[in-house]
Amino acid sequence: MQQRATITEATLIGNADLAPPRKRRGRPMHKILVSFSVAYFTGAFVTDLVYWQMPDVLWERFSIWLIAAGLIMAGVATVAYVIDLAGRRRIDRPAWPRAIGYGLAVLLALTNAFVHSRDGYTAVVPTGLTLSALVIVVLLLTAWVSMAQANRHRIGG
Amino acid sequence: MYQLKMVASPKLPRLAALLTTVACLGLAGCDDHAGDPKMQIGANPVLPAVQQYLMPPMRVAKAVGWGDETPTVSQGLQVHALATGLEHPRSVYVLPNGDVLVVESNGPKAPIYRPKDIITGWVQSFAGAKAKDANRITLIRGANGNGSPELRTVFLDHLNSPFGVALIGHDIYVANTDAIMRFPYQDGQTTITARGTKVTDLPGGPIDHHWTKALLASPDGSKLYVGVGSNSNIGENGIGAEYERAAVWEVDVASGAHRIFASGIRNPTGLQWEPETGKLWAIANERDEIGPDLVPDYLTSVKDGGFYGWPYSYYGQHLDPRIVPQRPDLVAKAIAPDYALSSHVAPLGVAMYTGTDLPANYRSGAFVGEHGSWNRTPLNGYKVVFVPFSDGQPSGPAQDVVTGFLDANNHARGRPVGLAVDRSGGLLIADDVGNTVWRVSGSLPKPAS
């Protein structure tokens, strides 16, 4: 209740502590790690697209390592989230829709890691590529929903 | 372990398939629906539809060793340990004076290209497949039937993942994983210290997925035939890595020049001359990860210039969806192998029997050492079978000859690999988990007192 929906530069950062300074301040650790995993999953989607157009095994290997790295980052982010909660760092209000959306994306990416561990073309086309795209769609929707909840409008789903 | 799968059907809604998979994960293992291996033995194996897994099944038999047990042999046969305490013996070769060469070898370290490679290596270590590589050949003398050899010496040392051995005249040829080496040999010699000369390079590292190189000399001693396995399961290391692999090479002994005698054979692990027709026959390990009953491993005659399908197709024109771009020109001429041994049995040794020691029903045909499956439930292989031949062709179902490699808990006491027939007509079996060479003979070599 104490939070105002005033658009300031700090709001766009997304997690600035607008509440009066009480305890510790600072950006929650898990958010940084989450953006790493999102970048990895996006990269995997791109390399999947390239493999689909030009099935050289190199791209498929890029994809599986990117997905694996994204999953590791997601794992670390989850630990960091718990630490953030325990340490009472400020977690944004619309955290639950975001957490659920992100969790779904990570589950899809985990499935995708298994699909990408197949041998040959069907490691990517069609199931792996579809899952990679789905991960991105879920992440975008999650971002859009949480932004809409926070009364922001920057990226459309 | 896990037996989860997702049937790849483009029409199936993907989310539904995912949900099924998640349900499978929860239930810790859906049924694999492996069929009866007997349906896949012979000239016309039943081939089910391709399955694509979410998590490929890995089911290795834990290595436990023999203790006081020995393999079980069929009626009319006896089995003894010819030599024990070996280091991962993979193949056996018999010299004209009766000395037995045991190749103690293991594959080079597999590189890690994908996260999967880490997990595969970890699982294989349970099956005893990661034993250290002795890289040597041991000579055993005078052990016929009584289990205590007169002599056991290191015949050749400092080799590089050797597998095939062939004697031509007074030259011993050893197929290292990356080259054929020639060593001078005198009759009765028990150890070779000469450095050896290279006859030809063979496709080796850095990947070297299928590392064993089977070797067979032509009857006139002018050619060597080499089984060179593929560099992947199904081309996942790129088609460039498969250059001159998945093939049987013909090497000119005098010059070292080679040509591809036959291709499209995923992993030809054993070569033999069929005694009646004089034709070249091979055993081969087929591809994995498209189902418990795909693709059956086989025993086949090898035609000069023949193409046997890998990686594009199997058993003739059955396309493998994992290979893109396809090669319709090659698939069109792909030869279906002569005789299926059933899926994932992993034949690693073959011996055409020409001796007279074993009972009459074994006097024409091929013994095949089936190392056993690692990705199928229930397990398949883990035995030595006999495929009867008549008129130079397989003429009946494969019979179990040596079993008991698995105990009641499906743990591996041993796993059969290379085979050979010794001078007295006994069948020798290298066992790379039991670290033993077994000798199977006809009944009563020496009557008990």
Task: Report yes or no: B396 and B411 within 8 Å, Cβ to Cβ.
Answer: no
Closest CA to B39 of B293, B282, B290: B293
Tell me the residue length of chain A. Answer: 157
Q: What is the DSSP letter of A59?
A: H
Rounded distance between C-alpha atoms, residue B20 and residue B14, angstroms: 10
CB contact under 8 A, A120 and B234: yes
Task: Report yes or no: B150 and B157 within 8 Å, Cβ to Cβ.
Answer: no
Rounded distance between C-alpha atoms, residue A4 and residue A1, angstroms: 8
Same domain, B323 and B358: yes
Specify which of A9-18, A76-85, A99-108, B3-12 reaches the highest per-range mean pLDDT: A99-108
Task: Report yes or no: B246 and B267 within 8 Å, Cβ to Cβ.
Answer: yes
pLDDT for the residue numbered B230: 98
CB contact under 8 A, A65 and B55: no
Touching check for B57 and chain A: CB below 8 Å? no
Q: Which of B236, B242, B288, B319 is best to mutate for the A interface (most A CBs within 10 A)?
A: B236
Tokens for B295? Answer: 């693709």
Mean pLDDT across B110-136: 83
Mean pLDDT across B411-426: 95
CB contact under 8 A, A119 and B232: yes
Task: Report yes or no: A124 and A48 within 8 Å, Cβ to Cβ.
Answer: yes
pLDDT for the residue numbered A93: 57
Whether B55 shows a pLDDT value over 80: the answer reads yes
pLDDT confidence band for A21 (50 / 70 / 90):
very low
Same domain, B171 and B184: yes
Same domain, B283 and B346: yes
Same domain, B152 and B6: no
Of residues A65, A120, A127, nearest to B236 (C-beta)? A120
- List pLDDT tens digits, range B259-313: 999 999 999 999 999 999 999 999 999 999 999 999 999 999 999 999 999 999 9
Same domain, B220 and B313: yes
Same domain, B16 and B61: no
Same domain, B67 and B51: no
Give me the phi and psi of A29, to 5 degrees please.
-55, -40
Whether A10 shows a pLDDT value over 60: the answer reads no
Q: How many CB pairs under 8 A join A and B?
A: 69
In a domain, B73, yes or no: yes
Tokens for B210? Answer: 């299928």
Task: Report yes or no: B100 and B422 within 8 Å, Cβ to Cβ.
Answer: yes
Touching check for B118 and chain A: CB below 8 Å? no
- B-chain CB neighbours of A135 within 8 Å are none
The residue behind tokens 């990686």 is B311
**Is there a cis peptide before residue B378, judged by omega within 30 degrees of 0?**
yes
pLDDT for the residue numbered A103: 95
CB contact under 8 A, B324 and A114: no
pLDDT confidence band for A31 (50 / 70 / 90):
confident
Nearest CA in chain A to B288: A119
Say which residue, B441 or A21, is predicted with more confidence. Answer: B441
Query: Closest approach of chain A CAs to the CA of B322, in angstroms?
Result: 5
Helix (H), strand (E) at residue B365? strand B365-370
**Is there a cis peptide before residue B64, judged by omega within 30 degrees of 0?**
no
Strand partners, B17: none
In a domain, B35, yes or no: no
Rounded distance between C-alpha atoms, residue B151 and residue B128, angstroms: 28
Rounded distance between C-alpha atoms, residue B427 and residue B418, angstroms: 11
Same domain, B303 and B344: yes
pLDDT for the residue numbered B219: 97
pLDDT for the residue numbered B34: 87
In a domain, B449, yes or no: no
Q: Which of B11, B54, B230 is best to mutate for the A interface (most A CBs within 10 A)?
A: B54
Tokens for B96? Answer: 């004209």
> From the centroid of its chain, how far is CA B367?
12
Same domain, B6 and B65: no
Say which residue, B330 or A1, is predicted with more confidence. Answer: B330
Touching check for B326 and chain A: CB below 8 Å? no
Q: How many C-beta atoms surround the C-beta of residue A123 within 10 A?
A: 26
Query: Closest approach of chain B CAs to the CA of A134, in angstroms?
Result: 10
In a domain, B39, yes or no: no
Indicate yes or no: pTM above 0.90: no
Decide: residue B408, CB within 10 A, 0-12 exposed, 13-18 middle, 19+ buried: exposed
Query: Closest approach of chain A CAs to the CA of B26, in angstroms?
Result: 14
Of residues B52, B55, B288, nearest to A122 (C-beta)? B52
User: DSSP letters of B417-437?
Assistant: EEEEE-TTSPEEEEETTTTEE
In a domain, B404, yes or no: yes
Whether A6 shows a pLDDT value over 70: the answer reads no
Q: Percent of chain A at pLDDT above 90?
A: 59
CB contact under 8 A, B232 and A58: no
pLDDT confidence band for A90 (50 / 70 / 90):
low
- B-chain CB neighbours of A112 within 8 Å are none
In a domain, B273, yes or no: yes
Task: Report yes or no: A157 and A141 within 8 Å, Cβ to Cβ.
Answer: yes
Touching check for B321 and chain A: CB below 8 Å? yes
Same domain, B75 and B50: no
Say which residue, B349 or A24, is predicted with more confidence. Answer: B349
Q: How many C-beta atoms surround the C-beta of residue B356 within 10 A?
A: 12
- Provide the edge-to-edge strand list for the sheet that holds B247-252: B213-217, B223-228, B247-252, B258-263
Mean pLDDT across B139-150: 76
Give me the phi and psi of B446, to 5 degrees please.
-140, 120
CB contact residues (below 8 A), chain B span 216-275, against chain A: 232-238
Of residues B8, B10, B289, nearest to A119 (C-beta)? B289
Mean pLDDT across B325-353: 97
Touching check for B120 and chain A: CB below 8 Å? no
In a domain, B40, yes or no: no
Query: Closest approach of chain A CAs to the CA of B314, in angstroms?
Result: 15
For residue B174, give the CATH number of its domain: 2.120.10.30
Helix (H), strand (E) at residue B227? strand B223-228
Query: Residue B9: which domain range?
Result: 1-28+46-55
Of residues B55, B234, B324, nearest to A119 (C-beta)? B234
Query: Closest approach of chain A CAs to the CA of B207, in angstroms?
Result: 14
In a domain, B331, yes or no: yes
Residues in chain A whose beta carbon is closer than 8 A to a beta carbon of chain B? 55-58, 60-61, 64-65, 68, 108, 111, 113-115, 117-123, 125-127, 130-131
Identity of the amino acid at B102: V
- A-chain CB neighbours of B6 within 8 Å are 127
Decide: residue B180, CB within 10 A, 0-12 exposed, 13-18 middle, 19+ buried: buried
Quote the number of domains for chain B.
2
Which range has the worst mean pLDDT, A18-22, A116-120, B75-79, B345-349?
A18-22
Q: Which of B4, B7, B9, B18 is best to mutate for the A interface (most A CBs within 10 A)?
A: B18
Whether B413 shows a pLDDT value over 60: the answer reads yes
Tokens for B147? Answer: 């289990």
Mean pLDDT across A118-129: 95
CB contact under 8 A, A118 and B53: yes
CB contact under 8 A, A122 and B233: no
Same domain, B101 and B1: no
Same domain, B17 and B62: no
- List pLDDT tens digits, range A40-74: 999 999 999 999 999 999 999 999 999 999 999 99
pLDDT for the residue numbered A150: 74
CB contact under 8 A, B54 and A119: no
Rounded distance between C-alpha atoms, residue B422 and residue B403, angstroms: 20
Q: Percent of chain B at pLDDT above 90?
A: 80
Q: Percent of chain B at pLDDT above 70?
A: 90
Query: Closest approach of chain A CAs to the CA of B180, in angstroms?
Result: 30
CB contact under 8 A, B113 and A68: no
Mean pLDDT across B241-252: 98
